Amino acid sequence: MTKSVPSPVVFEPEFIAGLKDIFEEKIPFNRLIGLRITELEPGHVAGRIDMRPELVGHFVYNRMHGGVISAGLDAMGGLAVMAAIGAKHMEDPPLQRLHRFSKLGTIDLRIDYLRPGIGSHFTLRAEVLRLGSRVASTRMEFLGPQGELMSAGSAAYIVA
């Protein structure tokens, strides 16, 4: 017996544009730190933050503030959950799926700072480990300009 393989989920341009607008423009703090989406797939997401003087936490070393790293990873974990929820409900129109995110919130966040946040730009990646009916679990990474792991995180989000 041959098992049918589900076709991969492909987000509509309207859904991608709506999610980018919510994430990059409508969330003021994401806009403040300059967090931009670079990849948006049902299984994982990626973003970028360019280093700017306003993000420095240690002026002698020009090191990014740990709060920016933490907030960026938290935001990316939330975005990964949004993408997973969007993929789970592909039968709904894009705008209806975008409205599902109103109840999303962080309930637990852990960040391990492994290396100082020094560099011209940073890549943030996140994936959903489990999407339940009430809680989602994620894993996140904060990478330096050469792809070196600088911080790692995990989080839980309320989804209902």
Q: What is the pLDDT of residues 97-147, one digit of tens each?
A: 998 888 899 999 999 999 999 999 999 999 999 999 999 999 999 999 999
Residues 6+ apart with CB under 8 A from 118: 61, 62, 63, 64, 144
Which pLDDT does position 106 carry in this prediction? Answer: 97
Which pLDDT does position 3 carry in this prediction? Answer: 56
pLDDT tens by residue, 17-76: 999 999 999 999 999 999 999 999 998 999 999 999 999 998 888 899 999 999 999 999
DSSP 3-state of 156: strand
**C-alpha distance from residue 105 to each of 2, 14, 22, 109 (Å):** 40, 24, 14, 11
Prediction pTM value:
0.92
In angstroms, rounded to a whole number, what is the distance separating the alpha carbons of residues 142 and 92?
A: 33
